[in-house]
Amino acid sequence: MAVLGRHRRLVTLVLSYGVFVGGLLLVPFLFTRVHPYTMADGVLMVLLAVAALGLVPFTGYAGQVSLGQAAFYGTGAYATAILTVKLHLSPWLSLVIGAAVAGLLAYLLGLALFRAAGHYLTLATIAVGLILGVVVKQLDVTGGAEGLAGVTPLTVFGADIGGDVNFFYLAAGILLVATVVVHLVCRSMFARTLLAISDSPVAAQSCGVDPAPVKRSMFVLAAVLAAVAGSLYASWSGFVDASTLDLNVSLQLLIIATVGGRRSVFGAAVGSFVVVSLVRFAKEWLPDVSSHAGGQVEIIAYGLALILVLRLLPRGIVGGAAAGLRRLAGTVTRTPTR
């Protein structure tokens, strides 16, 4: 039985990664053909999934709510822009430096913040994002309110990537690697500790587990992934401004992680697909509905999606689907034995 159980887990693992990779490979096919999607949506979807991926362990396991992911996303984006435009460094090196800076920033914030109750983190992360947003609009090195243009595009072995479809494959590859990394982290003892923390902080503490360093590491991981995504975004779009640091980006990322499933590594990609689709369809259909609200109407859909998922599917779309499948599989395998 135990062997069978282990096999089943392996089969589930292989199957879920198969579906995941298959889904990713379908994107270029669908997004270049199905109206109103564009391949740019596909690239953005994968980048947002990478940026939100770190929130899976951080929100789902450590039970923390960060509304400052955009601060790290923007840090990565600005680092790449500044280092390639002003210092002419290679975009790949800029990506690494940006990720390191974001990780350091998260670590330093975490040193002070995780001594306190959860809601302080939410507040502090919002504050950091807003402050950075004001600062980049003032400084010369960040290009002020106009932002920075002419970011060096990424090259692979000296060759230009060229085209959204090719960039998509690169970003999707990075998403896959990041997913495996986060998956391993979630599988570790580490994550079990986090789960205990989020279920009952007092209980975890009374078992001698100090939640602060664990939460801090999760926070740093989330920041690094967001910075990588931001950096990729800068190289892809060639342009960075303060909108990368906007609170709306943080909200978007939190919603992506929550809607997809806060405890599933595939949740970020699913959530990202949902959010990018919401944005795309809102842009396509809503101008007809409401003339004076501009393109901002989609935030109602965000908010409703967040509330409905939290109330009806607290484990997100992937979590809910997995539970449904398990129940289905359970009835199928259990019926013959009884």
Partner 1 sequence: MTSLAQFVVTGFTTGATYALVGLGIALIAQVTGVISFAQGEFVMLGGLTFALLEEKGLAAPLAALVAIVLACAVGVVLERLVLPRARAGRTDQTIMLTIGASIVIEGVALVVVGTEPHFARPFTKGSALSVGGVHITPQYVWVVAITAVVLVAMWLLLTRTRVGWAMRATAMDAEAAQLSGISPSRMSLIVFVVAAALGAIGGIVLAPLQSPDAGIGIALGLKGFAAAVIGGLGRPAGAVVGGLALGIVERVAAGYLPGDFSGYSDAIAFALLLLVLLVRPTGLLSALRVERV
From 76-84, 120-128, 178-186, 316-324, give the range in contact with partner 1 by CB under 8 A: 120-128
Question: Does residue 313 bind partner 1 (CB under 8 A)?
Answer: no
Question: Does residue 141 bind partner 1 (CB under 8 A)?
Answer: no
Amino acid at 38: T
**138 CB contacts (<8 Å, ≥6 apart)?**
144
Q: Which of 200, 213, 243, 327 binds partner 1 (CB under 8 A)?
A: 200
Question: Does residue 117 bind partner 1 (CB under 8 A)?
Answer: yes
User: Shortest Cβ distance from residue 121 to partner 1 (Å)?
Assistant: 9
From 32-40, 189-197, 225-233, 295-303, give the range in contact with partner 1 by CB under 8 A: 295-303
Give the whole-angstrom CA distance, residue 185 versus residue 263: 12
Residue 267 burial (CB < 10 Å; 0-12/13-18/19+)?
A: buried
Q: Where are the beta strands (DSSP E) in 99-234?
A: 148-149, 155-156, 159-160
Question: Does residue 243 bind partner 1 (CB under 8 A)?
Answer: no
In 261-315, which ranges are continuous DSSP H helix? Answer: 267-289, 298-312
Q: Which of 24, 50, 70, 124 binds partner 1 (CB under 8 A)?
A: 124
Question: Does residue 82 bind partner 1 (CB under 8 A)?
Answer: no
Q: Which of 158, 208, 294, 336 binds partner 1 (CB under 8 A)?
A: 294
DSSP bridge partners of 156: 159
Q: 29 is written with which tokens?
A: 């096919």
Cα 195–chain centre separation = 20
Question: Does residue 264 bind partner 1 (CB under 8 A)?
Answer: no
User: Shortest Cβ distance from residue 102 to partner 1 (Å)?
Assistant: 17
Question: Does residue 44 bind partner 1 (CB under 8 A)?
Answer: no
Question: Does residue 307 bind partner 1 (CB under 8 A)?
Answer: yes
Question: Does residue 314 bind partner 1 (CB under 8 A)?
Answer: yes
263 and 68 Cβ atoms separated by less than 8 Å: no
Compute the C-alpha angle 202/203/204, nearest 5°: 90
208 and 202 Cβ atoms separated by less than 8 Å: no
Q: Which positions touch partner 1 (CB under 8 A)?
A: 59, 63-65, 67, 109, 112-113, 115-120, 122-124, 126-128, 130-131, 134-135, 137-138, 198-203, 206, 247, 251, 254, 258, 290, 292-294, 296-297, 299-300, 302-304, 306-307, 310-311, 314
